[in-house]
Structures are given as C-alpha cells and as structure tokens.
Amino acid sequence: MAYAQQSPRIYNTVKTKLKEGKQVVGGTVSSPDPEVYCAMANAGFDFTWIEMQHSVLSYNEVANMIRFCKGASAMPFIRVPDATEGDIQKAMDLGAAGIIVPMVDTVEKIKNAVKFANYPPIGVRSQGGGQYGAMWGADYRQIANANLVVVAMIENPKGVEIADQIAAVPGVDVVFIASTDLGSFSGFKQGQPEYEALVDRIKAAVLAKGVKLGAPHAWQSTRKDYTLFQAASETALIKMGATAALKSGTMTSGTPRGVAPIEGSEKH
C-alpha cells in the first residue's frame, strides 16, 4: 500500500511569504552585540541581513547572536563573504535560514552557492556539527533544503549580462539588484537612462524566470514588482530613532508624555 509523502515542516516565514507573493524587509546588522542583534530581530523585520561581507563579524560571533535570540520573529539571513564551501557551510551550520551571495557575475558562482548550502540529493552540504538542530528542531536534516532561501546579488554589468542565467539556476529564490555597486561599477547614477536600462534588463530577465526581485528598501515605495528589501543598518536606525525622540521630547514609547519609565521595564 502506498502512503502519501508528508510535506516538510516549514519554519522559515520568509520562504512562506515569498511563495505567497508578499513583500519582505530585512534590517542590516553588523554589530556583534547579541542584545543589539535581538533588538533588530524583534523590531518587526521579516529577516535580519547579517553583514559578513563588509564587516569584521566572525562566525563565532554570528552564532552567538543568533543563539542568544532564538525564537525571534525575524529569520536570520547571512550575506556571506563569498560563495565558498567553507563560508556557506559554516553559515548554514550556525542556523542561517537564508544565504545572500554577493557579486554574482558567473553562473558557476551561484550554482556553487546552491550546491554548498543544500544537503543531498540537491547539494553537497555535509553533516557537520552546529547549532542548527537547537535552532530549528531535531528534524532539521529532513527539512533544511525546503526552508532555505538563496539570494543572488547582481552588482556589476557582467552580472547584468547573465541575469537570465542566474535566475534560471534551480534553488535561487531571489535576484537582488545592488543599486549602489551597480552604479559604482557601471559609472552611471540612479535615474540616468543608462543606469535604468541595466535595472530594467535585470528586472525583465528575473521576472521572466518566475524568480523574485530584491532591492534596497528605498525602492519599495517608488518601484513596482520588487519583493525582498534590504533596510537600514542598526547604527543608522539608532541615529534616526534618537533624532526622532529628541524632536518629539520623549525617549520612551508606551508611556504618557512626562512620565518616566520604570527602569528595567524596557522591551528588547
């Protein structure tokens, strides 16, 4: 007698939202402080964009950050330094729910990222140790592939040329347009016809493959058809919050104006 195969348990809320066509926003984190990370992870973002390409964060620090804030509403995504086997497997072993791959300008690079991030039969991720089980459950090995989100970043004209091939790689969920670097490498600025032609080329190629588009958060309210967004860093948000608090005359939320909060009652 044949039995129906059970669908894997999905814990990655970003994976679910992407499949439902919903937009998701991630806050950028570069600080190794677990409390700062937890504040970002519980601030209302869909995911955290843990920045390991342009920061001095170590894998040990990131593991501590994620473990400290187990159960946070935001899924931990890591922008790895590169699509190497060591970088990606360590990121997955410490509990990442998403892998963000920078500077994708060859098909081989994103294929390797997918391969190293997934267990067989999809990829070649090995069964090393790690805190993934403590984060996501004893059945992690059976459900990890189904929960993974892979984001490929296009940052230069070489990547633009093969955007359709990048989006066609099985296992790629999102192709992200890195707006600043695209301008840096192309020599054009946002709004210039040459720059917008590069963006339009990526957009058309990616959407034609049925893959989601990613972009900076500033584009969410001004451009259509984007699904995943990178928001500001914790330092930028601290500055914005402090400025807003000083202007409003109150440094707390949830208490009447002129009433000081009870020390230790602040929510993190």
The active-site residue out of 9, 19, 54, 268 is 54
268 included as an active-site residue = no
The span from the first CA to the last CA of the chain, in angstroms, equals: 52
Residue numbers annotated as active site = 54
